[in-house]
Structure 1
Amino acid sequence: MVNAAAAAPSVHNTQPWRFRCADEATMELWADLGRLLRVTDPLGRGLGVSCGAALCNLRLAVRMTGHDAQVVTLPDPAHRPDLLARVRAVPAGPPGQDERLLYEMIPHRRTNRFPFDGRRLPTAVLVELVHAAHAEGATLVLLKGRTARRVLGMIGAAEATLAAEESYRAELARWTAPGRRDGVPRHAVGPRPRDGALPMRDFRLGEGRHAEGAPSAAFEADPQLAALFTRGDGPLDWLRAGQALQRVLLTATARGVAASLFSQPLDLRPAQHSGDRAGPLGHVQMLIRLGYGPPVPRVPRRPAFEVLDPVEAARR
């Protein structure tokens, strides 16, 4: 179960989670605050979304045992805000075919930062992705035309702003260092979009190399974008967004659809923000690029013993 949960996507592949067995039927999900990106994610929004994705995988893993996952999110926010969820397995019927399919996709899901071939997603697949987000209490909206171009412009402007900050480049350097069992390895970075046509995050800035020296490639001219919304914008909403995001990504994987994520404009959110900034659909929690791309290798994962606390420690 922990291996399945820890295969979730996370911001910069930080894998910011820990798991504890509270008893023989209960698993706790904790935030690993030592892995918080203090430059790009000071509020912990990205950490919460990442841990929500792990929670989605953990729920699916519980279902594969013939149990239901009873989840209590943020069970003790006043005293243990880093305790994100308590998951209790209770007897239930066997998993359904759809649940099995999503679970089987967990080891095959990838973040694909390479060029897509430009083919449009069929309407039936898009509907499935929208339903996947809705099943987790979130809203997925496809962005088209002028809206998509405006969003791409916002992503590009945010990427340029971040790239100019020395603290941001230093943070990237930490998470792109070779030899790690986490972070973003060189083989997963992908090429530079030729002529800057698509504002992909430039992880090479962390290697001390300017973008001009990186390999480039032609990306799709009209990328297919989607925005994931939640009604609120607090820790509970971030966990909800992560679960919805992972269900969307697993559904996409099952249909042969590749995906990469944009969060640069969200990285620039001010430290103080209020609910009155929400639009009619709520708050954007992630921007997703969808399409058909080449197969990509997996990124490193920490072994289960590094993220699962010993039972004795948990009981103390």
Structure 2
Amino acid sequence: MTETGIPGVRPWEKPFATHAGVRRLVAAAVAAPSVHNTQPWRFRRVDDATLDLYADLDRLLAVTDPLGRGLGISCGAALLNLRLAIRMTGHEPRVLALPDPGDRPDLLATVYAAPGAPPDPDECLLHDMIPHRCTNRFPFDGRPLPKDVLAHLIAAAHAEGATLLLVKGETVRRVLDMVAAADDTLAADAAYRAELAHWTRPGTGADGVPGDAFGPRPRHGGLPMRDFGLSGTRRAHGRRGDFADFEADPQLAALFTRGDGLRDWLRAGQALQRVLLTATAHGVAASMFSQPLDLRPPPHRGDQAGPFGHLQMLIRFGYGPPAPRVPRRPVFEVLDRWEDHCV
């Protein structure tokens, strides 16, 4: 083990100087969560110390995410992973968000790796959690999260310029009713069902949500978990009648940013991923609710923010069984080629 925290990495070597270095860093980035596991990102090496992050607009969910909010959050989560991976090399990631919005609106961030100090223990821990974090759509056992764990989750969001607010008391049921109503509205839309079917297709693809990650259906109208079996995919996987009792008192939190544009969505994604990695480090499982946000009309971007800003994600926390990991596209599919003199 070197002082950088990664075996074989020399602290004086620029992170993107070799094919192996680039692959290692991009592999960490693409382990991030994304809406319907669309993985809507691409990466391009600029030089030995610089990498560009692009939105893959071919993977934009036209029905569910027409504004690109979910795409921006997904790419923000990948950006956080990339930053942590760069820190493991003993460099400091300097991020320029939306460097060319006029000519290249799909260029979301340019990341420059400057010489820095070795990573601290907290950074190493979060980086180590990247391959272990996964969305858990299964029932949790109802145990409350300790106060110190909740404090760490709140601090994780704050570190990325976002606010994580715990949802308590009667507000929990009102929020869940709102999610359920939005889910019913989406399910009634044929275009939504078709889009969902595309990303839940059977097989062994490298993207989308596979059947074993759907989770069971909540019994007796419990939690309004998104039903990935609307298209019949659940039947194809033999899971049509798979019901279970979910926790009676879900532990919810809401993630807010001050603004509601692309720059804020990138910030929300970085905050979300730092929260999820922190939860993973504490043995806490998590899943997300975004259905009400999927219904927001385009004029929403001009709406006045609430006291905490704009809601970007609802997160469910708890303790549950291990969840299956979803597939990832290989690095070569998301990384643009560069000149062959890089070895």
* TM-score w.r.t. length of structure 2: 0.89
1:281 alignment partner in structure 2: 308
1:47-91 C-alpha deviation (Å, 9 max, x unpaired): 000000000000000000000001000000111010000001111
Partner of 1:144: 168
Structure 1 vs Structure 2 CA RMSD: 1.4
User: How far apart are 1:277 and its partner, in Å?
Assistant: 3.0
CA shift digits 1:8-56 (9 cap, x unpaired): 0000000000000011110100000000000000000000000000000
Q: State the alpha-carbon separation in 2 of the partners of residues 297 and 312 from structure 1.
A: 37
| Pairing partner for 2:114 from 83, 90, 94 | 90
Identity of aligned residues (%): 72
SS at match of 1:120: coil
Alignment correspondent of 2:40: 16
Query: Separation in 2 of the partners of 1:276 and 1:154?
Result: 19
Q: How many residues align?
A: 313
Structure 1 partner of 2:224: 199
8 Å contact from structure 1 (residues 171, 206) kept in 2: no
What secondary structure sits across from 1:277 in the alignment?
A: coil
The unaligned stretches of length 5 or more in structure 1 are: none
Secondary structure class of the residue paired with 1:113: coil
In 2, the alpha carbon distance for the partners of 1:209 and 1:10 equals 21
Contact 1:232/1:275 (CA < 8 Å) preserved in 2?
A: no
Map 1:206-285 to 2 at 5 A. 206-207=231-232, 213-285=240-312
Which residue is 1:67 aligned to? 91
Do residues 153 (structure 1) and 177 (structure 2) align? Answer: yes
Displacement of 1:145 after TM fit? Answer: 1.1
User: Bigger shift: 208-217 or 269-278?
Assistant: 208-217
Residue 169 of structure 2 corresponds to residue 169 of structure 1 = no
Q: Which has the higher helix share?
A: 1
Report Cα offsets for 1:189-247 as digits up to 9, x if no partner. Answer: 00000011100000001336689933000000010000000000000000000000000
The amino acid of 2:86's aligned partner reads: V
1:6 and 2:30 aligned = yes
1:185 aligns with 2:210: yes
Q: Post-superposition shift, 1:265?
A: 0.1
Contact 2:139 2:245 in 1 (8 A): yes
**1:113-164 per-position Cα deviation (integer Å, ceiling 9, x unaligned):** 0000000000000000000000000000000111111110000000000001
Which of these residues, 90, 106, 130, is aligned with residue 130 of structure 2? 106
Query: What is the identity, as a one-letter code, of the residue corresponding to 1:105?
Result: M
Q: Give the AA of the match of 2:317.
A: L
Aligned partner letter, 1:124: D
Residue 103 of structure 1 and its aligned partner are, at CA, apart by 0.1
SS of 1:12's equivalent in the other structure is: helix
Residue type of the partner of 1:164? A
Name the CA distance, whole Å, in 1 between partners of 2:294 and 2:200. Answer: 18
Structure 1 Cα separation of the partners of residues 233 and 135 of structure 2: 23
The answer (yes or no) to whether the contact 2:211–2:234 under 8 Å persists in 1 is no
Counterpart of 2:226, as a letter, is R
Q: State the distance in 2 between where 1:136 and 1:191 align.
A: 33
**Contact 2:211 2:233 (C-alpha < 8 Å) held by counterparts:** no
* Greater C-alpha radius of gyration: 2
- The reply to whether residue 37 of structure 1 matches residue 61 of structure 2 is yes
